[in-house]
Amino acid sequence: MKEEIALILASHGDFAKEALSSLEMIVGKLNNVNTLSLHPGEDLPDFTQRMDEAYKKLNHENGTIIVCDIYGGTPSNAAMGMLIKYPEAKITAYSGLNLPILLELSASRKQDYVEIKKIIEETAKLSWTELKNNKKNTVMEGGL
């Protein structure tokens, strides 16, 4: 059976950890995933070292996807550091951590590395949708 692509979620505070928790509430427990939380007083070199350690704990034979919260923040800068440190590795990093992306990733992680990149990029285009009040068709019922 093909190993799932490794996944690292990184954020300011516990957003990445809680996003994974929300995702697992919907899809069940995931394997080959690590989360990193940046806390006050932690600097880029320390966070980059922790990201490297998280990467080494995963099975990254089929590639690694890193998803960070904010472009240009410490987590995304650490991800850029990983791209620089491992130029020959199959590592792709994105910013814009959100649940729609994570849902798509959870369903697609056994895909080929190139294919999953296409799926993520297409999902990213669709992950923001304006909610509009359409009184005729609005249904307010329970969800999950």
Cα R_g (the chain), whole angstroms: 16
pLDDT tens digits, one per residue of 64-122: 999 999 999 999 999 999 999 999 999 999 999 999 889 988 888 888 878 888 888 88
pLDDT of 16-74, one tens digit each?
999 999 999 999 999 999 999 999 999 999 999 999 999 999 999 999 999 999 999 99
Sequence-distant (6+) residues with CB within 8 A of 64 are 5, 6, 7, 8, 55, 58, 89, 90, 91, 92
CATH fold of 6-111, please? Rossmann fold (3.40.50)
Which residue, 28, 82, 38, is CA-closest to 60? Answer: 82
Q: pTM of the predicted model, to two decimals?
A: 0.84
Collect all residues with Cβ–Cβ distance below 8 Å to 115 and sequence separation of at least 6.
108
Domain ranges for the chain: 6-111
CA–CA separation, 62 vs 2, rounded Å?
Answer: 8
